[in-house]
Amino acid sequence: MSRPFLKMNGLGNDFVVVEARDQPFRPSAAEAKAIADRSTGIGCDQLIGLEPSTRADAFMRIWNADGSEVDACGNATRCVGWLLMQASGRDTAVIETGAGLLHAARGPDGAISVDMGEPGLDWRQIPLSEPMDTHRIEVLAGPVGQTLEPPGAVSMGNPHIVFFLDHEPEETMVRGLGSMIEHHPLFPEAVNVGFAQVLGPDRIRLRVWERGAGLTRACGTGACAALVAAARRGLAGRRATLVLDGGELTIDWRASDNHVIMTGPVAVEFTGRLPEALAA
């Protein structure tokens, strides 16, 4: 029997969302990859399953486009938060993820905010395969390592590193270095690779190579990580607008409780039904 889905996006970072609170939905890695395929499937950066939770409004299970399961996705959390709030009529929602409980709320002009919690800054939290100061980690060698400053490392429920550039992050660099570093031995769980240009203390241009998905139009946890990494280096303040290919996110690393708040728009694209062969 085919199963309905909702296609959504946050700044062009797109998701196929499947309701699984009444009927289990546990596709294999191959099935998740087939759904995400833009040529032969529905097409998305991540596949999302909404499952029952005893601690929250729903548990959000996340598969990357390559079929791998991950614990966190910031833009998907905003989309799911909006869905849950629309269903309940409330202005807040709680989403359980593999990275913990996340709280979503309605923001100004239809935007959705998510409290992404505290960033992980210890090498064990990223995680890295060896002890290292996460302000600046040595991951590149040779000519490339001599031309780029060592990146900062931050966990936002998933591992990120962020390179800071003095120019616009070019697609060839993002694709080339991102794909090269994603599975570097220093990162036992692989890593998301961000390339940021600080335009001012409250504005940062960012492009992200997402592990398991490649270059996406936006990455919510990547935006959070970039702001934290920039603030730690004194390159930006604790609140900034992150300019991504798909639009802008406001990121606020609150001094009061050390939590990172991400705010931005969500959009519904269309509804449909999964092919029966992929509706496991």
Q: What CATH number does residue 106 fall under?
A: 3.10.310.10
Q: Is residue 79 annotated as part of the catalytic site, yes or no?
A: no
What is the model's pTM?
A: 0.93
pLDDT at 222 over 70: yes
Q: Residue 165: inside a domain, yes or no?
A: yes
Residue 6's pLDDT is 97
Q: Residue 243: inside a domain, yes or no?
A: yes
Q: Residue 217: inside a domain, yes or no?
A: yes
pLDDT band at 2 (very low <50, low <70, confident <90, very high): confident
If DSSP states are collapsed to H, E and C, what string results for the chain? CCEEEEEEEECCEEEEEEECCCCCCCCCHHHHHHHHCCCCCCCCCEEEEEECCCCCCEEEEEEECCCCEECCCHHHHHHHHHHHHHHHCCCEEEEEECCEEEEEEECHHHCEEEECCCCECCCCCCCCCCCCCCCCCCCCCHHHHHHCCCCEEEECCCEEEEEEECCCCCHHHHHHHHHHHCCCCCCCCCCEEEEEEEEECCEEEEEEEECCCEECCCCHHHHHHHHHHHHHCCCCCCEEEEEECCEEEEEEECCCCCCEEEEECCEEEEEEEECHHHCC
Mean per-residue pLDDT for 29-51?
96
Q: Percentage of residues in the chain with pLDDT exceeding 90?
A: 91
CA 46 – CA 16 distance, rounded (Å): 7
- For residues 153 and 254, membership in a common domain is answered with yes
For the chain, the domain total comes to 2
- For residues 66 and 157, membership in a common domain is answered with no
Q: Residue 127: inside a domain, yes or no?
A: no
Residue 275's pLDDT is 82
Catalytic residue among 44, 79, 219, 224: 219
- For residues 164 and 225, membership in a common domain is answered with yes
Looking at every residue in the chain, the average pLDDT score rounds to: 95
- For residues 188 and 218, membership in a common domain is answered with yes
Dihedral sign for Cα 34, 99, 114, 116, please. negative
pLDDT band at 51 (very low <50, low <70, confident <90, very high): very high
Q: Residue 220: inside a domain, yes or no?
A: yes
Q: Residue 29: inside a domain, yes or no?
A: yes
Q: Is residue 73 annotated as part of the catalytic site, yes or no?
A: yes
- For residues 253 and 148, membership in a common domain is answered with yes
- For residues 147 and 193, membership in a common domain is answered with yes
Look-up of token digits 């590193």? 161
Q: Return the structure tokens found at 80.
A: 């799911």
pLDDT at 17 over 60: yes
pLDDT at 132 over 60: yes
pLDDT at 253 over 60: yes
Give Dmax (Cα) for the chain: 56
List, for residues 94-130, the tens digit of each pLDDT value: 999 998 999 999 988 889 999 999 999 999 999 999 9
Catalytic residue among 44, 73, 79, 224: 73
Residue 140's pLDDT is 82
Residue 169's pLDDT is 96
Q: Which domain holds residue 48?
A: 3-117+266-278
- For residues 221 and 273, membership in a common domain is answered with no
Q: Residue 49: inside a domain, yes or no?
A: yes
CA 196 – CA 274 distance, rounded (Å): 37
Q: Residue 242: inside a domain, yes or no?
A: yes
pLDDT at 279 over 70: no
